[in-house]
């Protein structure tokens, strides 16, 4: 440890900066572990601006662990619609039921016990342990990794275990044992607002005098990531079948794939849109029926590029005649009550349907 990296002094500067610059966010005014848990799960992979709206809606609908446990999966996913990473919502629901059924509705109070909850990793367990119970477990999220790796000039890849362990070790040395909760909020907030990914505000940074990355002019190359995510391309034909009585058929995604638990139209996955859509798996032959195709919609996920085209089929008879127990028959005007992936939601909002 160099003189410039006096942990106590750095910690104090970070906390003092926070006390002057903190944003006023609702989850910072509570020590309720349930509320903190919801906010932390909502905020993963999401900006505070986007997460805030979802957090408020979620807490309004499910103000405590009991109401969440007693909700249906459809209700939970509907509130999560558009936020992505739907396994987070399913895990929240599963864990709420576990807490109510197996733990008498009492939230675990130690880091070790919190880690046992489904969907709770080291970051979330540290966040709940410190914000709810004031325990000195440092949070290591993307903001903290960026700030510490720059401050210490860590040029090794931050997506490998030894580097992450080193960053967590530095964080553990830094964390204030008087105010662990405030320190964790502070270091995340500094990463988010001051030591930003692009154009960090080094001139206003309270620890700039100790910052190795600034001193060595290597800010732009830290944090360094070694693994590039390889994305696959997928092509979906969705069959939006509208019958002569105002009904359509939909399907709940139950397979272990993206968007599990959300709804879809009958789907044919193809290798590319040069392959003709074929609705025979649904139970009729679309070559004999008027079919219209939508434009192509695109959605980028962490590991996949999704391309979707919607085949709109006006069935001259009732969809009830399609005998498949997996399908749900829904009135057209009730479709908005189901939870859909973003790409289908975009289709609903789009009116540019072109002739097949
Ligand atoms: S000086 Fe700049 S790069 Fe270094 S910690 Fe502060 S904001 Fe980040």
For the chain, percent of residues with pLDDT exceeding 70: 97
Q: If you measure from the C-alpha of residue 211 to the centroid of ligand 1, how many angstroms do you get, rounded to a whole number?
A: 6
Paired residues of 299 in beta bridges: 306
Report the C-alpha gap between 240 and 313 in whole angstroms: 6
Ligand 1 atom with the smallest distance to the CA of 190 is 7
Q: What is the pTM of this model?
A: 0.85
Model pLDDT for residues 292-325, shown as the tens digit of each residue: 889 999 999 988 999 999 999 988 888 888 888 8
Q: What's the pLDDT score for residue 355?
A: 38
Tell me the C-alpha distance between 204 and 198, whole Å: 15
Query: Cα of 193 to ligand 1 centre, how many Å?
Result: 11
Mind listing the pLDDT tens digit for each residue in 75-104? Answer: 999 999 999 999 999 999 999 999 999 999
The CA radius of gyration of the chain, in Å to the nearest whole number, is 25
Nearest CA to ligand 1 atom 5: 151
Q: What is the Å distance from ligand 1's center to 148 Cα?
A: 9
Using a 6 Å cutoff on CB, does residue 13 contact ligand 1?
Answer: no
* Architecture of the domain made up of 7-221: Orthogonal Bundle (1.10)
Q: What are phi and psi of 254, to 5 degrees?
A: -110, -15
Residue nearest ligand 1's atom 4 by CA = 211
The whole-number pLDDT of residue 356 equals: 35
232-354: CATH topology: Nucleoside Triphosphate Pyrophosphohydrolase (3.90.79)
Closest ligand 1 atom number to CA of residue 202: 2
- Averaged pLDDT, 15-40: 96
pLDDT bracket for residue 2 (50, 70, 90): low
- The domain ranges of the chain are 7-221, 232-354
- Across residues 233-239, what is the average pLDDT? 96
Cα of 30 vs centre of ligand 1, distance in Å, is 30
Q: Which residues are catalytic?
A: 40
């Amino acid at each position: 440890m160099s003189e410039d990296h006096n942990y106590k002094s750095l910690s104090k500067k970070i906390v003092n900066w926070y006390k002057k610059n903190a944003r006023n966010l609702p989850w910072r005014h509570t020590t309720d572990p349930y509320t903190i848990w919801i906010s932390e799960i909502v905020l993963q992979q999401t900006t505070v601006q986007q997460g805030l709206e979802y957090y408020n809606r979620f807490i309004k609908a499910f103000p405590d662990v009991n109401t969440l446990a007693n909700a249906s999966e459809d209700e939970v996913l509907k509130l999560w619609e558009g936020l992505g990473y739907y396994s987070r919502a399913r895990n929240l629901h599963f864990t709420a039921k576990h807490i109510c059924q197996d733990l008498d509705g009492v939230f675990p109070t130690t880091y070790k016990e919190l880690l046992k909850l489904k969907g709770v990793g080291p970051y979330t367990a540290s966040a709940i342990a410190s914000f709810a119970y004031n325990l000195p477990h440092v949070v290591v999220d993307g903001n903290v990794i960026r700030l510490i790796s720059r401050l210490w000039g860590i040029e090794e890849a931050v997506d490998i275990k030894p580097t992450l362990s080193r960053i967590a070790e530095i964080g553990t040395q830094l964390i204030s044992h008087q105010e662990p909760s405030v320190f964790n909020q502070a270091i995340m907030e500094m990463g988010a607002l001051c030591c930003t990914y692009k154009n960090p505000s080094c001139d206003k940074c309270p620890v700039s005098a100790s910052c190795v990355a600034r001193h060595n002019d290597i800010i732009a190359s830290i944090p360094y990531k070694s693994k590039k995510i390889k994305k696959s391309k997928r092509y979906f034909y969705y069959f939006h079948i509208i019958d002569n009585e105002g009904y359509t058929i939909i399907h709940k995604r139950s397979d272990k794939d993206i968007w599990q638990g959300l709804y879809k139209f009958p789907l044919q996955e193809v290798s590319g849109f040069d392959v003709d859509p074929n609705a025979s798996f649904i139970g009729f032959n679309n070559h004999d029926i008027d079919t219209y195709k939508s434009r192509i919609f695109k959605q980028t996920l962490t590991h996949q590029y999704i391309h979707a085209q919607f085949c709109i089929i006006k069935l001259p008879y009732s969809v009830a005649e399609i005998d498949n127990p997996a399908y749900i028959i829904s009135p057209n005007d009730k479709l908005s009550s189901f939870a859909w992936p973003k790409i289908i939601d975009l289709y609903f909002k789009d009116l540019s349907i072109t002739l097949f």
